Amino acid sequence: MFTETGKIYLYKALLHYKVKELVTVTFLKIGYIGTTTLVEALLDERSSRTDLKMRVVSSGVNMDEAEAETVSRIATAIESDLYVVITPNAALAGPKKAREVLKETGKPIIAISDEPSRKAMRNLPEEGIGYIVIYGDPMIGAVTSFLDPVEMAIFNGDVLKVLSVTGVLRLIQQELDRVIDEIKEGKKPTLPEIVIDKATALGASNILNPYAYGKAMAAFEMARQVASLTTEGVFKTEDRDETIQKVTAAHELIRQAAKLADEAREIEKSNDSVVRIVHFKSGDRRKKVGLYEKY
């Protein structure tokens, strides 16, 4: 996305005539995965863009079909150039209904979901919907005997660290930005069809040190393993104490993954090689490495 020559990186879209000065993106959130918490903020981290208007509509944690439909209707009432629908398991009835409702608008739609969605998602392009499947954004240990609001928030904090450092959030941001750029250029956007596995994620992580890269990849895989443990604990374990053991292990695992992701970033910091790619007012992205460097 960047030409690597010269100190200043200008996104090529700048060279084109922009058909659209202001793009409206509406995010529809049904239930929660880690990425849900701040997906729209990824597109305008300092709230400076003048080319982008964002709306978010959500049913909170509820994923029922009826709920999904209601909030989808609110979303479709907001005139938008692009819809992004983010949900856990996109194969469930709620998320499915949401996509159906959104499709009525005829606007481009991108569905973002987690690993259990991978089969269902692969069929979306046939319906004209793009998708991003995120491996490494694991289900929480959702059992009464373990999960309370505080535990839930801590888990999400850890997930955010892993998703940030390992390149997941960067990749999502870049794909959404690319689509928005294409809309601004008046093109019919090419919608993403991406499965973010360890290779794709890390490829977007901009981590330079090879050991930091290894640490981040391990953290990513740990996050996937978290999902195995919570899925097993929540859906496949009858004994109450065993359930507690497995979800406890899962939350310890994500905490440890966050620490490993942090280790990876600390190495990059120690080499002053943390790559930063920021949004400018116009929506352009620019990149720098050294912290005191200019874009």
Least CB distance from residue 81 to a copy of itself, whole Å? Answer: 14
Q: Select 124 or 247, whichever has its Cβ closest to a copy of itself.
A: 247
Q: Using the rule CB under 8 A, give the single segment among 49-57, 103-111, 116-124, 186-194 that binds a copy of itself.
A: 49-57
Question: Amino acid identity of 248?
Answer: T
Question: Which parts of 82-141 interact with a copy of itself (CB under 8 A)?
Answer: none
Least CB distance from residue 197 to a copy of itself, whole Å? Answer: 11
Per CB under 8 A, 69 contacts a copy of itself: no
Among the listed residues 1, 152, 195, 289, the single contact to a copy of itself using CB under 8 A: 152
Among the listed residues 151, 178, 195, 282, the single contact to a copy of itself using CB under 8 A: 151
Q: Select 37 or 105, whichever has its Cβ closest to a copy of itself.
A: 37
Among the listed residues 164, 200, 230, 231, the single contact to a copy of itself using CB under 8 A: 164
Q: Using the rule CB under 8 A, give the single segment among 97-105, 131-139, 185-193, 254-262 that binds a copy of itself.
A: 254-262
Least CB distance from residue 152 to a copy of itself, whole Å? Answer: 4
**Who's near 223: CB < 8 A, 6+ residues apart?**
136, 137, 138, 159, 162, 163, 166, 254, 257
Question: Which parts of 24-43 interact with a copy of itself (CB under 8 A)?
Answer: 27, 29, 31-32, 37-38, 40-43
Among the listed residues 97, 212, 230, 283, the single contact to a copy of itself using CB under 8 A: 212
Question: Which candidate, 40, 62, 38, places its Cα nearest to that of 52?
Answer: 40
Pairing of strands 23-29, 193-196: unpaired
Among the listed residues 18, 62, 89, 118, the single contact to a copy of itself using CB under 8 A: 62
CB 89 within 8 A of CB 95: yes
Least CB distance from residue 292 to a copy of itself, whole Å? Answer: 6
Structure tokens at 118: 């991978």
Q: Select 8 or 153, whichever has its Cβ closest to a copy of itself.
A: 153
Per CB under 8 A, 215 contacts a copy of itself: yes
Per CB under 8 A, 198 contacts a copy of itself: yes
Question: Which parts of 166-195 interact with a copy of itself (CB under 8 A)?
Answer: 169-170, 173
Per CB under 8 A, 231 contacts a copy of itself: no
Among the listed residues 21, 106, 150, 238, the single contact to a copy of itself using CB under 8 A: 150
Q: Select 124 or 265, whichever has its Cβ closest to a copy of itself.
A: 265
